[in-house]
Structure 1
Amino acid sequence: MFHEIVIEAAEDADDVNPEALLASFERLVSGAIAEAGPDQIVEEAGVESAAVGAAAAGDVAALRLEDAAAIATVPTDRDADAVVAELRDHLLMGMATAVLDVDTIAAAIDADLTGQEVQQTLEGRAAMTLGQLAAIAAVIEQRKP
């Protein structure tokens, strides 16, 4: 889901940027809410109704990746944890391909994160928002050969 958006963006554009990725993430999440309905999303995804309402209104930058995955998978037969794991694998493989370290990523993004915090978000030891994901993914895709 999310990693497919990143892959498609990289294939379709010469320059992958965080704003375009975040807009694509927003369409995925708000589309799932529109399809299943906010009440079903809250019930099945276990995400607070305020977060679902904000996401439905297009405010997804501060939405945690795990919550976004839980929302996006409600109308599908996919597992939210598997979606998050696939995304993390994609990001880490992209870092290896681009020969990037977490300090370089931290220096290249506007999300006030240190290299250690970037590493923690990539490994799932700290929460990552969709805004942070868009920024990190864009740097990785821009640096790939």
Structure 2
Amino acid sequence: MLYDAADDPAGLTPTELREAYEAQLRAVVTDRGVEEVADDTGVDADVLEALVEGAVPQLRVADAASILALDGSRPDAESIVLELRDHLLMAMTTGVVDVDTIASNVDLDLSGQEIQQALEGRTAMTLGQLAAIQRYLAERNDR
């Protein structure tokens, strides 16, 4: 469900963690085919082709959830996104971390307010942003 793509997110770089997310997505696209996934999710076929061929750090989390939801063993896209947000917010609570702390410790060029908006779903979050945030929270909680 994205957040569980790697067993030890704290031990990975944000790029490696993003690649783990992409591996989950790539498996679904490879299994179902680019055109079918594009038709079922509304994600552009060119973006899906790029995913099959390599990295797509700007892929939105909502689009990734739509892709994962096509795997019959996973919940619907909205549930995936909500569970991901819950997971991140629980990690913030456990680590006693606020959005300004995240903003000052990840290389995203986002303010605390922008991170909060992304976490709340008021603005789109990319896989690259998710990886940086999740990795920071995991590392913080592993201390």
TM-score, normalised to structure 2, is 0.92
Shift of 1:20: 2.1
CA contact (8 A) 2:5 2:24 kept: no
- Structure 1: how far apart are the matches of 2:117 and 2:14? 20
Picking from 61, 66, 70, the partner of 1:65 is 61
Identity in percent: 42
Letter in structure 2 aligned against 1:32: V
Secondary structure of the residue aligned to 2:4 is helix
Query: Which of the numbers 28, 31, 46 marks the counterpart of 1:50?
Result: 46
Paired letter, 1:25: Y
Contact 2:28 / 2:71 at 8 angstroms: preserved in 1?
yes
**Is residue 2 of structure 1 aligned with residue 11 of structure 2?**
no
CA RMSD of aligned residues (A): 1.4
Counterparts of 1:1-145 in structure 2 under 5 Å?
A: 1-5=1-5, 8-10=7-9, 15-77=11-73, 78-144=75-141, 145=143
Deviation digits for residues 16-59 of structure 1, max 9, x if unmatched? Answer: 43122111011011111101100110011111112212222222
Helix, strand or coil for the counterpart of 1:2? coil
Q: Distance in 1 between matches of 2:101 and 2:55?
A: 28
1:76: Cα distance to partner?
2.1
Preserved contact between residue 18 and residue 127 of structure 2 (Cα < 8 Å): yes
Shift of residue 114 of structure 1? 0.5
The one-letter amino acid of 1:79's match is: D
Specify the code of the residue in structure 2 equivalent to 1:2. L
CA contact (8 A) 1:94 1:140 kept: yes
Unaligned runs of 5+ in 1: none
Runs (4+) off by over 3 Å: none
